[in-house]
Amino acid sequence: MVKTYHDRVEESTRRLELRSAAHTFSRIISEGTNCSPFEASIITEKAQEVFQLGAYGEHQALQPGQMIWQAIDESEPAGKPLSECKFKRIRLTVLSMAEDREVLKKHGHSAKRGQQILRMTQEAVDQGALLTQEDLAVILDSDVKTIRTDIKRYQKAHGVVVPTRGNKKDIGPGITHRDAATRTTLIFSRARNMVKQAVRRSDTSRKNNFFTIRQLRINFAVPECPWRYIIVALLSTGMLLK
């Protein structure tokens, strides 16, 4: 069956409802007492009222720009149904006023979201949980496609891997730690080959293996081989050419 945009929104909403502490508590009650889901929901409602939880909870002391979120526990494996996953209540800094405004002013909305995404995913990891792209889309009032694009741009610009659940567990189309390591190896290999070829073209004697950039005539504008990798290759040329 072909899913429409409305169907995907409804599915996303149902998935997010599974993340609530109330749903987790209801499931535990239902499984532990063999009562019906309806009875478990009534018990949950009364427990929240008595113990001042959920909608009945007292105001929590959060810093400006922070929020509480239910995220999947870091120990949960890939492929496990969301309804069976354990969730953790974590604190996230959605907005860091000074830092985020500065990035927005200099680099635009996508870069600002990228910084927010990295900050929140790192905070989640520090608290033993992992955020999904779906989590981030809801928190930042965006959509999953935009979040995915922002993550790719940020990772490419800064050479980091954003620790989302997809990246950490190798789920979905994101750039995983394994992908990043492979890409780095390939780029360095490319840089090393460029250095070797440049040395062979050079008229300079190879007796002491010391060369200048002008003598090697390396093209630092090659897009798939950033200059930082060429510099590393240059530093190791003496060993590579023996």
- pLDDT tens-digit map of 138-160: 999 999 999 999 999 999 998 88
Per DSSP bridges, beta strands 129-130 and 66-73 are antiparallel
User: 59-172: what fold?
Assistant: Cyclin A; domain 1 (1.10.472)
Type of residue found at 211: F
CB atoms < 10 A from the CB of 219, how many? Answer: 9
pLDDT confidence tier of residue 241, bands split at 50, 70 and 90: very low
125 neighbors 92 (Cβ within 8 angstroms): no
Measured over the CA atoms of residue 54, residue 59, residue 60 and residue 65, the dihedral's sign is positive
Least reliable range by pLDDT among 86-90, 110-114, 152-156, 177-181: 177-181
Q: What is the mean pLDDT of residues 18-37?
A: 83
pLDDT (0 to 100) of residue 172: 59
pLDDT at 15: 73
Tell me whether residue 165 is exposed, middle or buried, using C-beta atoms within 10 angstroms of its C-beta: 0 to 12, 13 to 18, 19 or more: buried
Least confident span in 44-48, 176-180, 187-191: 176-180
Q: Which residues contact 49 (CB under 8 A, 6 or more apart)?
A: 56
pTM of the model: 0.56
pLDDT of residue 27: 85
